[in-house]
Amino acid sequence: MSAAGDLFPGPRGPAGPAGRTVIVGVTGGIAAYKVCEVVSRLVKLGARVYVVMTRAATKFVAPLTFQTLSGNPVFIEMLEPPQLFNVEHVALAEKADLCVIAPATANIVAKIANGICDDLLTTVICATRAPVLICPAMNHNMYTNPIYQANEKRLRQLGYRFLEPGYGRLASGVVGRGRLPEPPEIVSAIASVFAGQGDYAGIEVLVTAGPTREFIDPVRCLSNPSSGKMGFAVAEAAAARGATVHLITGPSHLPDQAGVAVTRVVTAAEMHDAAIAAFSGDGVVIATAAVSDYRPPVALQHKIKKGAAHLTLELELTPDVLGSLGARKERAVLVGFAAETEDLIANARHKLVRKNLDLIVANDITEPGAGFETDTNIAHLVWPDGRIEQRPLETKRELAEHILTAVLPLVQRGAEGRDESPVTRGDPD
Ligand SMILES: Cc1cc2nc3c(=O)[nH]c(=O)nc-3n(C[C@H](O)[C@H](O)[C@H](O)COP(=O)(O)O)c2cc1C
């Protein structure tokens, strides 16, 4: 998928943060204060922590704070006499089982993406073979700046891991994306980098995402505005928690993710076949894709020419991805999504039963912040026993984490019953 496997071979040594050497890079962002708690938690978990600060970071938190919390000297200057190790940047880079940068400024992401080594932290990151987890935090406009986004994309492609920033009120007073996740989330992301440490370690998670396209002729298709963001967020969260993740996505502009097997398809039939082929009957299926329910019986070979005042399109049902998975599930836990415009709960309940689901996540796409293409969602979790859990407006990543936490006990218990059935057709979502 990327150079990740070669560049960052993965942590060595015992499982979990205990006994591991974690380099925590702190850069000049307002959220630097949160990282004091991250260091404190890592030390309590038994990690050896060395903090490397940029000069700008020292304006936000005194090095003495990190020195006291980590129990080690804090490293700042590149060209000063060494404090603890000979050739400090090389020693730190080699000792690291994991490097974490939190908060990561737009500046450091740009420098790493361009191979710049003009201070101790950038030089350590360039020199290390350990996995690098970057936790960006910045103003919303900086985060969405295409230059920043291109730098992040480049680093992701090279195998650097990113913890997505949260959505909410930023230090500037603006509400948007760019907030550093809370310390427990950062520590859990760190823990999950160490193999087998996530609560989903050893669990298969199959995710569907995005829209499908049903071609009418070579230049026209039936589709919908789904971006794939919800499914990609689920896949990323599950991978970060140690799951073996297979993401099957319809056309989406989102890039492949490190640690996630991605199959890209176009039509509902292709998504159906890919999902059935990938489905083992175990683990969890989280079906977020907005699959087209209908398609033209044949895609014309040549473009329909403009002429007639009216054109009637004949459509047929597409294969039912979720229905077929539901009919095949053995011990697997099946989670569906329902995007509705009316009678949200009643429609969701109906779909939950029809498709043999263990949970359905319903959202009213007419609500602001809950529709296609947004970074946020407002969901209702509807369970077979009648429970309904209303979630607040939250990022798709936050919702993804919540769903994974909610279904984990079911996965661990193992669902019962198996019914080998062929393709289900004729049951539109
Ligand atoms: C009060 C204040 C808060 C800042 N917060 C951030 C931030 O959250 N994220 C960011 O990318 N830059 C932030 N900056 C800008 C960085 O400090 C600046 O780009 C600096 O050069 C980063 O240096 P470094 O990456 O070497 O730490 C902030 C600046 C100030 C004055």
Residues of the chain with CATH 3.40.50.10300: 204-413
CA distance 38 to 133: 13
CA distance 3 to 13: 22
Q: Is 156 helix (H, G, I), strand (E, B) or coil?
A: helix
User: What mean pLDDT comes out for the span 404-423?
Assistant: 67
- Ligand 1 centroid – CA 245 distance (Å): 35
CA distance 365 to 250: 19
Per this entry, what is the length of the chain? 429
> For residue 423, is pLDDT > 80?
no
CA distance 278 to 413: 22
User: What mean pLDDT comes out for the span 135-159?
Assistant: 95
pLDDT for res 307 = 87
Instruction: Give residue-wise pLDDT tens across range 189-212.
Output: 888 787 565 688 889 999 999 999
Q: Is the pTM of this model over 0.75?
A: no
> For residue 181, is pLDDT > 80?
yes
CA distance 5 to 379: 36
pLDDT for res 195 = 58
Q: Whose CA is nearest to atom 10 of ligand 1?
A: 105
Q: Whose CA is nearest to atom 14 of ligand 1?
A: 29
CATH, domain range 204-413: 3.40.50.10300
- Ligand 1 centroid – CA 236 distance (Å): 27
Mean pLDDT, rounded, of the chain: 87
For the Cβ of 107 lying below 6 angstroms from any atom of ligand 1, the answer is yes
For the Cβ of 106 lying below 6 angstroms from any atom of ligand 1, the answer is yes
| CATH architecture of the domain with residue range 4-193 | 3-Layer(aba) Sandwich (3.40)
User: What mean pLDDT comes out for the span 159-176?
Assistant: 85
> For residue 161, is pLDDT > 80?
yes
Annotated catalytic residue 377 = no
236-194-394 Cα angle (round to 5): 30
For the Cβ of 137 lying below 6 angstroms from any atom of ligand 1, the answer is yes
pLDDT for res 276 = 96
Pocket test for ligand 1, best of 27, 53, 105 (most atoms within 8 A of CB): 105
Instruction: Give residue-wise pLDDT tens across range 96-119.
Output: 989 999 999 999 999 999 999 999
Instruction: Give residue-wise pLDDT tens across range 28-70.
Output: 999 999 999 999 999 988 889 999 999 999 999 999 999 999 9
Q: How confident is the model at residue 11 (pLDDT cuts 50, 70, 90)?
A: low
Q: State the Cα torsion 70-55-156-396 to the nearest 10°.
A: 70
Q: How confident is the model at residue 259 (pLDDT cuts 50, 70, 90)?
A: low
Residues of the chain with CATH 3.40.50.1950: 4-193
For the Cβ of 90 lying below 6 angstroms from any atom of ligand 1, the answer is no
Cis link prior to 103 (omega < 30° from 0)?
Answer: yes
